[in-house]
Each structure stands twice: as structure tokens, then as C-alpha cells.
Structure 1
Amino acid sequence: MTRIVAGESAVPKRKRAIEAALAIGLVFLIAAGAVVASSISRNTAAEASIPAPTPAAELKLGYFGNLTHAPALVGVKQGILARNLGNTKLSTETFNAGPAAIEALNAGAIDAAYIGPNPAINSFVKSEGESVSVIAGAAAGGAQLVVRPEITSAADLKGKTLASPQLGGTQDVALRAWLGSQGYETNVDGSGDVAINPTENAQTLKLFQDGKLDGAWLPEPWASRLVLQAGAKVLVDEKDLWDGSLSGKAGEFPTTILIVNKKFAAAHPDTVRALLRGHVESVAWLNDAPVAEKSSVINDALQESAGAALPADVLDRALQNVVFTVDPLAGTYPKLLEDGVKAGTTKQADITGLFDLRALNEVTGTAERVSAAGLGQD
């Protein structure tokens, strides 16, 4: 009989235990690898299912039949916007004032719009930053308070009736803010020390001619039309209220800007860049074209969009009051917001994120970038 010496079987037993543990570990590693591979496969499939941004089949653009919207008027009339959009179809719709255009933009009826800054601010605030982005400036200046000749100072306005294009619009807010600075109370229902009746521009001209309005705060060319066609006088030129401390340019304040629906921009960034290329080209054309050619093209565009061309003297006066620029003058927006709050047409809010000027600066390619003044990306 063979004797088994104590301790002789310990080594083989430990060896077998180690081999078993290694085998079990290998099984776990293989299983874990399968799980990781499956997860990677699922993630890759999910990423592949997210469509890459593509040019839009159609861009629906809104603007007004006003001289302050000349980049849109010229861009459409001269085919500049359509050419830059390439295979993307350009559809257009004209509006009388900003709040109506904002409603259409938020409802998806249009994708981008030339508009005044206050309706854009109001939309951004109401949507908590989800609705629109300001992507460029279009025009600065070109807004005046024009009144009956017998009105010679702010003191003469008590009890009078004035008009603005639309409640909450840029000129409406400017009028209410200025009246407040003169010690007058105004209310959005038309009551107060001075009555403000939001009225379509063409109707304002007629009501003023009929003696049913004492004045109006209007953009061009309507301010010039009341002066030259209805005998009004300028009581306040808005450029005199801006000393340049906010915009860096004395006398300049944003009248018209270009905005885009944020969802559309996220889905079609190439289309937004194409729109901006056309916009920049249109602004450059307005600043470089001979006066006679510029006036002719603008008048033809106004005939198509607003139903009437302008007399030469009206167009000449109006053009002298407007600066065409791609800079939205972002530094003025905190004051514009404050004015809207005081006017009762918007609420106090943080408007950081309102601007996205990255594509504009990419398109212009200039050394001096257009600034978002800390209120977005540039």
C-alpha cells in the first residue's frame, strides 16, 4: 500500500482552484465584453438614426413694406436672397408690425423675419429663451415722433391722442418710454395722460390728415410721409435720444434686425448661413449703389409689397434718416428691455442668449467681429 504523505495533495488542489477561478473570470470578461459591444452597437445605431442637418427645402421669410426693411425689399426684388439660398425655395410674407410677425414665426408660418428689436425681446422673454435668435442687424435710426404744427413741446401733449404701429412694437415702446420720461402716464388700454392708439401706418396717415390724430411715433418712410404729405412736424427724432454710450455709435439705435426661429436654425444651419450671405450682400448693395438706382429699386419693391411707391421727396428724406448695417447694436438691448418693462409690454428677464452672431461673423469674415455684448454668442 502506498502511503500519502500529508501536504502532498495541497498543490494540485490549489492549482485546480486557480484554474477554476480563471475560467470563471474569463466567462465574466466575455459576458461583459458582449454587453459593452451591444451598448456600443445600440449607441451607434441611435446616432445614425439622428438625421444630419440639411438645407431646408423652403425658407419662409417675413418683412414689412417699410424703408427700414430695405435689406429685405432689395434682397427679394434683386433676387439676392434667392440666389444665395440656392436650391432652397424662398417664400415671403409682408406684415405691418412686429408682434404679428412674431406670432407667425412662433406658429411656424414663417421661419425668419426682419423685425424691430422689442417684439424679438418680448418673444424671447415669453418663451424663456426658446423661440428666436437675433442673427444680424438690418437698419438703425429712422424713427420720429411727428405731430401737428401747433404742438411745440412735450407739455402740449397732455390729453392728446397719438398713434404707434402696434402695441408692443419697437416704436410703441419708444413712444411710451419717452412719454414716461416727460412725466406722463400711459396705459396699454389707451387710457392715461396721453392716449396711444396702435394703428396701421397707412391708416395713421389718413387719420392724421382727417384731424383725428395729434401725432404718431413712426418708422420711415411713414414719418416722412406725415411731414411732407400731411403737414406734420418733428417733435422728437429718436436718434437724439441715443448718445452712443450703449451702441458705440452716437445717434444709432436698432430699428430693424434679422431673427430666426431657433428650431429651424438648429435643423438647417446651412440655410441660415445662406440667408445671411444674401442679407450681407443686400446691405452692402444698399450702402454702395448710386442713389438713383437705389431709390428706383426700393420704390419698385415698395410698390409690390406695400401697394404704393413713394414720391421722390419722401424717399429722399427717409433715406437720409436710416443707416443700413448688419450690426444689431446688441449693447442697446438692456435699455430696450427696460423700456418695454416700463411700458407694460414685457416683463423683466435675463436676455442672455438672445443673440447668435457666429454665422454672421463667419459670413462677413471681417477682422472686427460683430459683438453680442455678452448677451449671446459671437
Structure 2
Amino acid sequence: MKRIFLFTAIFFLFTGVLAGCGTSGKTSGSSSDKEKIVIGYFPNINHVPAMVAKDNGYFEEQLGDGTKVEYKTFPDGSSFMTALKTGDIDAGLVGPGPAMNNYMTGADVKIIAGASTGGTVVLASEQSGVKSVNDFTGKSFITPAVGCTHDVQVETFLKEHGIESQRIGGTMKHVTGNPAQYAAMLKSGKVDIAVAPEPWAAVIQQETGAKVLIDHDEVSFGKTLPASVLVASGKSVKENPDRIQSIVDAHKQATEFIAENPEEAKEITIKDIKETTKQELSKEVVDQAWERIGFTYKVDSDAVQAFADSSYELKFLKEKPKFTDLIDTQFID
């Protein structure tokens, strides 16, 4: 128990740390003649392409010697999208939910490639008494944020089974929090059900013995929806298409490396997450999580639209979405 709480405290301290601050512009010191590009991502397995590209120097290779690449990690999609909108990052990986939600409120964001699929798992603690979806009524569940990708997935699934959160008139209490906290919260009884991205679902299973109720391929959109996407600002796409193409090419290299070298990619993942969160995941946890994830730079536009339509029906979006201008596939076609 002490180890879990220590990990949670350290995670909050170190998440978001990066080599420098800021975004495109001239760097200081001896490299003042180089333009700085900042890439954002999360310390979870849906974001492995960014970790692999970082470790192998793919962004540096594609962007050239005149560019200095830095990296910034985020705990959730809201903080990532804020950084993209303010220009603190130039591009990076985020869930489709935050990208769509911000697009609908006027944010200048473009999905320029896919990154991963799957990886959302719904678990219940032993003491919750929840054995199946039939036991969800009146229980509490936690997701990283309101309207995030994982939240929309599970609430779509619940609605299809006649269950709703209190937010839209149902009985289930919804709370939010960092996935690094979930194991402790389930153990303490603060929540009954966790909707967790990998590798945190595998960590929860290992540390708490929680039961998987809805697996990655059973939850709504689990097989088709991009779990993470590569995004940039529309301004960058318009004004710097060559730079965006280089970023996408580096991302494609990383995705292909993962397919060809899964064991080495796992080692990179373990190392990167440890550097960011100070938590060293076991090989067993990563192997288990890896089975629930797929990696691809392609984007299923139909799946994104269907997901968005569900977000609207669940009242996460105020207007019925049309994503004609959100997804730009010119860099991967």
C-alpha cells in the first residue's frame, strides 16, 4: 500500500517535466541557431509511438540538423490541448475525445495521423460486489476526465445496456482522476469501477486483483476507434506543411519499428515510463497490456465520426458534430 501511494505522489511530481519550456522558436545557448519543436504525449502504452520516435531519434532525423526537438508529457487530454492551443507544443499524441471536443469549441486542431487502437479496460474491485454489467446501477466509476475518450467509450457501452451516469439522469456516480491513482482508489473503496487505459489496467490487475468486466475489444469502439491520434494546429499544417510531413514521417517510422521490433519497443516503453513517472513497470504488466493495443498511423474517419455522434447523444457536445475539416490525411496517404 505504501508503494502505491508513493508512486502516485511521485507521478504527479514528475508528469509534465520536459527538457525545456516553450515551442517553435530559436533555442538558447550554443544551439541558438536551431529552431525548437516540442512534441507532447502521455506516459501510457497508447502513446508508445512517441516514446519510440523519441528514443530512436526519428523526429531529429526527419526534421534535420537545424531543429532541436524537445518532449513534454501530460496526465490528461485537457492539459495537452491547452498546451497545443497556447503553442507550448507543436504536435503530439492525444486521445480523439479531447481533440474532437476542442475542435467543436473552435480550437485550431487537426488530426494528421492515427497512432494506436484499443487499450481501454473496465475493471471492478472485489469489495465492490460488482460481478457484471448488471451490477453497475448505483455504483461509482472513474475515468481520466469528463468526456475523454475512455469516458465516452464506457458511457456509450452503458447506455446500450440501459445504464446512465448521474450527469444525464442515471444512477451511476462519475468521478475523475489520474489513472496512476486507480489501484489505490479501488483498494480503499473510493470507487467501485475503473475505466483504465493501458498499462494502468494491467497494473490494477496485478496490484489489486480487480476483475475485468469489459475488455478492450468489448467496450464501445474498442476495435475501430483510434485510442490515440497525432495532432497539430491547423495553422502549422497550412504554414509549415514540410515540417508537418517530417513529423508524420517520423511517427510512421516509429509505428513500423513497433511492428517489426515489439520486444525492443517494450523495453523502450518501460524505460520511458520509468523516466517520466519513476515507476518501473514489470515485463509481465507490459506484455499483458500490449495484447490489448494495436499500433497504426492510419485513421478510421468513419469510426471517429461515429464516436463523435455518440459524444453528442451523451451530451458531451452541444452541437451535432461534422468533422470534414478535423481529419487531414494528406500526410499519410
TM score, norm. by length of structure 2: 0.84
Structure 1 gap ranges (5+): 1-55, 244-249, 362-378
Residue 268 (structure 1) aligns with = 240
Residue 213 (structure 1) aligns with = 191
Mapped partners of 1:76, 1:188: distance in 2: 39
Q: 8 Å contact 1:144–1:218 — kept in the other structure?
A: yes
Q: How far off its partner does 1:269 sit?
A: 1.2
1:125 equivalent to 2:104? Answer yes
Moved over 4 A (4+): none
SS at match of 2:332: helix
Q: How far off its partner does 1:188 sit?
A: 4.3
Residue 229 (structure 1) aligns with = 207
Mapped partners of 1:239, 1:325: distance in 2: 16
Residue 308 (structure 2) aligns with = 337
Residue 140 (structure 1) aligns with = 117
**What code does the residue aligned with 1:92 have?**
Y
**Greater relative contact order (CA < 8 Å, ≥ 6 in sequence):** 2
**What code does the residue aligned with 1:85 have?**
L
Q: 1:136 to 1:152 in 2, by over 3 A?
A: same
In the alignment, which of 261, 282, 290 is matched to residue 311 of structure 1?
282
Q: 8 Å contact 2:157–2:219 — kept in the other structure?
A: no
Q: 8 Å contact 2:93–2:231 — kept in the other structure?
A: yes
Q: How far off its partner does 1:297 sit?
A: 1.4
Mapped partners of 2:250, 2:140: distance in 1: 41
Q: 8 Å contact 2:112–2:331 — kept in the other structure?
A: yes
Q: How far off its partner does 1:161 sit?
A: 1.1
Q: How many residues align?
A: 296
Structure 2 gap ranges (5+): 1-33
Mapped partners of 1:187, 1:118: distance in 2: 20
SS at match of 1:353: coil
Mapped partners of 2:262, 2:163: distance in 1: 44
**202-211 or 111-120: which moved more?**
202-211
Q: How far off its partner does 1:110 sit?
A: 1.4
**What code does the residue aligned with 2:236 have?**
F
Mapped partners of 2:54, 2:275: distance in 1: 11
Mapped partners of 1:214, 1:298: distance in 2: 29
Q: How far off its partner does 1:273 sit?
A: 0.8
Q: Equivalences for 1:187-266 in 2 at 5 Å?
A: 187-188=166-167, 192-241=170-219, 251-266=223-238
Mapped partners of 1:178, 1:215: distance in 2: 14
**What code does the residue aligned with 1:174 have?**
Q
Residue 283 (structure 1) aligns with = 255
Residue 98 (structure 1) aligns with = 77
Q: How far off its partner does 1:148 sit?
A: 2.1
Mapped partners of 1:210, 1:80: distance in 2: 43
Mapped partners of 2:184, 2:50: distance in 1: 26
Mapped partners of 1:356, 1:290: distance in 2: 28
SS at match of 2:331: helix
Q: 1:164 to 1:195 in 2, by over 3 A?
A: same
1:176 equivalent to 2:147? Answer no
**What code does the residue aligned with 1:253 have?**
L
Q: How far off its partner does 1:238 sit?
A: 3.6
Q: How far off its partner does 1:231 sit?
A: 0.8
Mapped partners of 1:211, 1:167: distance in 2: 21
Q: How far off its partner does 1:225 sit?
A: 1.1
Mapped partners of 1:271, 1:278: distance in 2: 11
SS at match of 1:140: strand
Q: 1:84 to 1:187 in 2, by over 3 A?
A: farther
Q: 8 Å contact 1:88–1:271 — kept in the other structure?
A: no
Mapped partners of 2:177, 2:156: distance in 1: 18
Q: 8 Å contact 2:142–2:175 — kept in the other structure?
A: yes
Mapped partners of 1:204, 1:346: distance in 2: 27
TM score, norm. by length of structure 1: 0.74
- Tell me the C-alpha RMSD between the 2 structures: 1.9
SS at match of 1:196: strand
Q: How far off its partner does 1:175 sit?
A: 1.8
1:62 equivalent to 2:49? Answer no
**What code does the residue aligned with 2:72 have?**
E
**What code does the residue aligned with 1:289 have?**
N
Mapped partners of 2:76, 2:326: distance in 1: 20
The structure with more radius of gyration: 1
Mapped partners of 1:105, 1:316: distance in 2: 32
Mapped partners of 1:204, 1:186: distance in 2: 19
Mapped partners of 1:238, 1:344: distance in 2: 24
1:352 equivalent to 2:324? Answer yes
